[in-house]
Structure 1
Amino acid sequence: MSDPLAQLGYVHSRLVRHSAESAAVIPDLDAPGACIVVLAGDRVVLAGETALLAPDTATRLGTRSLTLFLGRLDGHPVFATAVPAEVAEGLEADPEFRTNDLRSLAGEGRIAPHELGLLATAKSLLGWHARHGFCANCGTPTTLAAGGYRRECAACGTHHFPRTDPVVIMLITRGDACLLGRSPRFNEGMYSCLAGFLEPGETVEDAVRRETFEEVGLTIGAVRYHASQPWPFPSSLMIGCVAESLDDIITIDPEELADARWFSRADVTAMLDGRHPEGLTAPPPLAIAHLLVRAFVEGRA
């Protein structure tokens, strides 16, 4: 059997991370073999089929707002930087470059999977720095430290670290059926797993039970972890679980869902294959929801 995680977006990375705790000297951009990834707004700049650009190539793209040291790839230093969003528009006629948003890049399958994981790190870190320029403790402007894995406040001494927001995403089963729902934001006809953010002081299992009850009124018994996925929009960790429902009467919260239904394995198989008689579809392979419903179809959930 092929690796179920093979097509899952952003989970593969060969980056040996630098971190806030590392005592290693941060290299210069002109270090031998150095490369840099460039984001112009929410778009990644690519040269051919790679986002790993030579530093002198990146210099031609315009003024960088900040440069982060991510770590090393195959022993060579890797950096990330942001340039103005208008840069992406200016590259449309340049045959040397192309740009795309990170979600579409994962769907294309044209760049190496390990680059997607590295880009997820870059996008999340750059986004965090853009949103956290001031100390949450005293309001003073903060400065970049540890290559970008920390911000420091000179006024009160507080250290700030990049955050990841945990999200539970759950395949709910009862017997030989699973429950999938439709957000009003979804493409027409697409159904997916329910999901929601963990709250402070809450276990993963309790978050699955609370979110399920809030959205569809079902009481959940056993909860089992299945897999996880970084989701850099802007910086979440999707915690994939399989949950067993103790009842089957659905009561939809209309603020959260447009619809929710129980589906048989045959239904879900047809949705994955694009041949459901109602034209219903499931999430694409890059999403962890696809991994969960695929596991259900194959009897692994």
Structure 2
Amino acid sequence: MTHPHLRMTVDPHDRVAVRRKDEAWLEDRWADPGSRVLVLSGTRVRPDDGRLDWVSPAEAPDGVRVLLGERDARAWFAVVTGPGLAKEGGDWFGIRDLLTPLADGTLDGGPMLLHAVGLAEWLFVTRFCPRCGGALEPRAAGHELVCTQCGRAQFPRTDPAVIMIVTSGEPGTDDERCLLGRQAVWPEGRFSTLAGFYEPGETLEDTVRREVAEETGVLVGEVEYFGNQPWPLPASLMLGFVGRATSTDIEVDRDEIEEARWFTRAELRAEAESGRLLLPRGVSISRSLVEHWYGGPLPGGW
């Protein structure tokens, strides 16, 4: 089956990173009326009739000019302005509001939108040099920030996070189960796969084992890589795994996880159909992990 989270990143653009410091090339492409520009107000965009609103360079406002890359024999840029445009009115949306239309194909340009918003988020939060506190100046077509005092360069930050479905029992049998958890702030019935951030010095497999043990008390042995998903909310890369449990007793931490349960495939289907169980929608790699283990689509979601 085609995993929904992969649909968000199909048809990637050529990022032409070698051109980011080629000022003559950049100016030539910016002068081309065929080039396209996505305007961001802070970290928000304004779709037009269900599509991303790409304008010509001449129509773009002032702001940090970001080279996204090339596709279809033209150059694609983003201009990141302050949040003032969105405050002036109109329907401006954050990336979280657009994930579902990106995943189901009703909004195009997924890879370039994720690229643009990820850089906009980074530019928004990276205001001063962490070494000396000096002002930062954008370089390399928006992909570097250089301190005007000490010269130290900053690069876009991405925080790796693991997300995993943990299974127990004989694989492929009716008795095999998967482990899902819920946070206290979620509505009743909402469950998802476990997840957590990588810590320095770990392997990703050990991150999976540590996070599952910390949150649920379940021990994990074998860990298999599944896939990944850009997640600029604000700056993560979700790395999906399937883990095999070596213990099944659950003791939740009551901090991050309020409840965790083992589900057979029959229980998963029945509770999802009845609405007692609410799984993440197809935009998330979490949904892909669950349906990969289940073996097909499941109803409902949040």
- TM bracket, shorter-chain basis: 0.7 to 0.9
Query: Residue deviations 1:179-225, cap 9 Å, x none?
Result: 00001233432110000000111110010011111100111100000
Q: Secondary structure at the match of 1:151?
A: strand
Instruction: Tell me whether 1:240 sits opposite 2:240 in the alignment.
Output: yes
Query: Residue deviations 1:4-43, cap 9 Å, x none?
Result: 24x5463224211143785543245332421111223443
Query: Residue deviations 1:222-272, cap 9 Å, x none?
Result: 00000100001011100000001101100001111121100111122345x
Give the Cα separation in 2 of the matches to 1:56 and 1:26.
12
Determine the structure 1 residue equivalent to 2:97: 104
Aligned counterparts, 1:12-23, within 5 A: 12-19=10-17
On the 8 A contact 1:9/1:287 being kept in 2, the answer is: no
Instruction: Tell me whether 1:36 sits opposite 2:34 in the alignment.
Output: no
Q: Secondary structure at the match of 1:100?
A: coil
Shift of 1:101: 2.8
Q: 1:78 aligns with which of 67, 76, 79?
A: 76
Q: Secondary structure at the match of 1:124?
A: helix
Give the Cα separation in 1 of the matches to 2:235 and 2:215.
23
Give the Cα separation in 2 of the matches to 1:257 and 1:297.
23
Determine the structure 2 residue equivalent to 1:183: 183
Aligned counterparts, 1:114-193, within 5 A: 115-175=109-169, 176-193=176-193
On the 8 A contact 1:35/1:52 being kept in 2, the answer is: no
On the 8 A contact 2:10/2:110 being kept in 1, the answer is: yes
On the 8 A contact 2:34/2:56 being kept in 1, the answer is: no
Give the Cα separation in 2 of the matches to 1:154 and 1:104.
36
Determine the structure 1 residue equivalent to 2:56: 55
TM-score under structure 1 length normalisation: 0.86
On the 8 A contact 1:216/1:250 being kept in 2, the answer is: yes
TM-score under structure 2 length normalisation: 0.86
Determine the structure 2 residue equivalent to 1:258: 258
Give the Cα separation in 1 of the matches to 2:151 and 2:37.
31
Q: 2:8 aligns with which of 10, 23, 33?
A: 10
On the 8 A contact 1:49/1:111 being kept in 2, the answer is: yes
Is the helix fraction higher in 1 or 2?
Answer: 2
Give the Cα separation in 1 of the matches to 2:84 and 2:150.
36
Determine the structure 2 residue equivalent to 1:295: 292
Give the Cα separation in 2 of the matches to 1:36 and 1:101.
18
Shift of 1:281: 1.3
70-79 vs 42-51, which moves further: 42-51
On the 8 A contact 2:42/2:120 being kept in 1, the answer is: no
Q: Secondary structure at the match of 2:46?
A: strand
Shift of 1:111: 3.8
Residues 1:269 and 1:234: Cα distance change in structure 2 (over 3 Å)? same
Q: Secondary structure at the match of 1:78?
A: strand
Residues 1:204 and 1:228: Cα distance change in structure 2 (over 3 Å)? same
Give the Cα separation in 1 of the matches to 2:184 and 2:19.
42
On the 8 A contact 1:150/1:160 being kept in 2, the answer is: yes
Give the Cα separation in 2 of the matches to 1:118 and 1:212.
33
Give the Cα separation in 1 of the matches to 2:162 and 2:293.
17
Residues 1:55 and 1:187: Cα distance change in structure 2 (over 3 Å)? farther
Determine the structure 2 residue equivalent to 1:95: none
On the 8 A contact 1:217/1:250 being kept in 2, the answer is: yes
Shift of 1:297: 0.5
Shift of 1:284: 0.3
> Match for 1:66: what amino acid?
V
